[in-house]
Amino acid sequence: MTSSQQSPPELRSIRTAELLAVGSELTAGETRDTNGGELARALSLQGVSVRRIIALPDDLALVTASFAEALSTVDIVVSTGGLGPTPDDLTREAVSVAIGEVPEVDADQQAWLRDLFARRGMPLSELNLKQAWLIPSATAIPNPNGTAPGWWVDRPDGRVAILLPGPPREMRPMWREWVVPRLRERGLGDGRLVQTLRTYGIGESHVAELLGEPMLRAANPVVATYARADWLDVRISAVDERDAGGRIVRSAREVLETAEVAVRDTLGGHVLAEGETSWADLVAAAAAGAGVRFAVVEAGTRGALGALLCDVPALERAIAHGPGVARDVSAWPVESEAIEIARAAGVEVGLSLVAHSDGTQTVLRMAVAAPANGWSRDLDLRLFQHGDHGRFRAGVAAAAFLVEVLGEEH
């Protein structure tokens, strides 16, 4: 019996969620859960408030209780993990007990599973049969990258339990392509709009000072800063502004755009990107815009710059000197190295970076040169980070310099 044969669930818009990551490998700290954070971000961007993210062991009582609590507290509960064929995989069992239904092998799911295994030339064992279970309230969520279908479980009060596999490459397409469209049909979130402005070259407290308390404490839009390894992000999140009677006086779009303009005006040239743009994206765009290919050579950075830019199509070659280059940065011939690497790699532009990191800071020197065009630019910097973090920041500084120089030179 499928959910379509029961009375339709109450319509309930989806404003709150709880996320469960099931697997003893998580509570043993052997594996780190990435699904919870990813789903939390996806839901938050849609205006759904995530109450908790909980990693649970393969313990039937505990997982059952977690489903029961969530299904009496939030609008949707999404679980990842525990859908495999072994006795330790008990997420289906847990939600079944939590809502008082009994799983049975579903003929369609069984046929699909049998066919999948046949195509792979593998025997379908008894163990795998539980992956063909359904309960009356569940609809199977197809899994394009694995053997375990997920479950979409409708509750009479309009709440939903969504069970997804643990492996991210299986979970992600199922979430994105099957679950989200159906959540949207139900009315997902609060119509929130979110924009992230990525800044570089300015400290978090200075940004806070410039933006000011009123903006940072406002309820709508909510403006918050996040200091990442490679960016200082300013995240603006807006909903419709309503009067006392509930009428919309400013749309979420208006609220967001007004705030974005204010932040951009305030932070000026420090805003270099939006959303999830990476330094590799910016460098790729700058190189494409200048119509050049480039090569890099770095010392004292353990290859941080090459790693940062490894996906850039315009990067012809990256040379990294090994660790233990404890040399005098100020005397490093960055300009001639930049010229040399450009020539050796047969490209228009070369970048040379040298860094020395001690226990408290990192000193860097870099040059960008275009030998055929006869120009070069160099830069000396001192960073307050050191060690691995300092080396990473040195790579970012070089990427930022390259973007700046390519944007200027002709």
Contact between 52 and a second copy per CB under 8 A: yes
Q: For residue 263, give the H/E element and its range.
A: helix 252-267
The residue among 250 and 343 lying less far from a second copy, judged by its C-beta, is 343
Instruction: Give the total of residues touching a second copy (CB under 8 A).
Output: 51
Sequential DSSP letters for 275-300 = TT--HHHHHHHHHHHHT--EEEEEES
Q: Does 32 bind a second copy (CB under 8 A)?
A: yes
* Residue with smaller CB distance to a second copy, 169 or 380: 169
Instruction: Work out whether 37 is an interface residue with a second copy (CB under 8 A).
Output: yes
Q: At closest approach, how far in Å is the CB of 302 from a second copy?
A: 4
* 16-22 and 49-56 beta bridge pairing: parallel
CB of 205 to a second copy, least distance (A): 11
The nearest distance, CB 225 to a second copy, in angstroms, is: 10
Binding map of a second copy across residues 69-108, x = CB under 8 A, - = no contact: ----------------------------------------
Enumerate residues 225-254 that contact a second copy by CB under 8 A: 226, 235
The answer to whether 38 contacts a second copy (rule: CB under 8 A) is: yes
- Asked if 31 interacts with a second copy (CB under 8 A), we say yes
Based on the shown chain and the rule CB under 8 A, indicate whether residue 26 belongs to the binding site for a second copy.
yes
CA distance 372 to 344: 13
Tell me if 42 contacts a second copy by CB under 8 A.
Answer: yes
Dig out the tokens for 38 from the structure: 């990813």
301-340 residues in contact with a second copy (CB under 8 A) are 302-303, 306-307, 310-324
Residue 274 contacts by C-beta under 8 Å, 6 or more apart in sequence?
Answer: 195, 196, 197, 198
Provide the minimum distance between the beta carbon of 31 and a second copy in the complex, in angstroms, as a whole number.
7
> Coil, strand or helix: which one is 125?
coil
Q: Is 63 left (phi over 0), alpha (psi -120 to 50) or beta?
A: alpha
Please report where in the chains the tokens 């709508």 appear, as a residue. Answer: 220
Look-up of token digits 């001192």: 382
Of the two residues 103 and 395, which places its CB atom closer to a second copy in the complex? 395
Measured from the CB atom, the residue of 53 and 180 that comes closer to a second copy is 53
Which of 153, 146, 152, 145 has its CA nearest to residue 131?
A: 146
- Exactly one of 9, 53, 93, 379 binds a second copy (CB under 8 A); that residue is 53
- What φ, ψ does residue 338 adopt, rounded to 5°? -65, -40
Question: What is the pattern of x (binds a second copy, CB under 8 A) and - over residues 180-219?
Answer: ----------------------------------------
Rounded to a whole number, what is the largest CA-CA distance in the chain? 78
Q: Shortest Cβ distance from residue 59 to a second copy (Å)?
A: 8
User: 265 to 304, contacts with a second copy by CB under 8 A?
Assistant: 302-303
SS3 153: strand
Rounded Cα distance between 179 and 76, Å, is 12
C-alpha dihedral over 244, 245, 246, 249, to 10 degrees? -70
- What is the rounded radius of gyration, in angstroms, for the C-alpha atoms of the chain? 27
Q: Of 126, 117, 155, 161, whose CA–CA distance to 141 is shortest?
A: 161
Q: Does 55 engage in binding with a second copy (CB under 8 A)?
A: yes
Residue 33 found at the interface with a second copy (CB under 8 A): yes
Footprint of a second copy (CB under 8 A): 25-34, 36-44, 49-57, 62, 224, 226, 235, 302-303, 306-307, 310-324
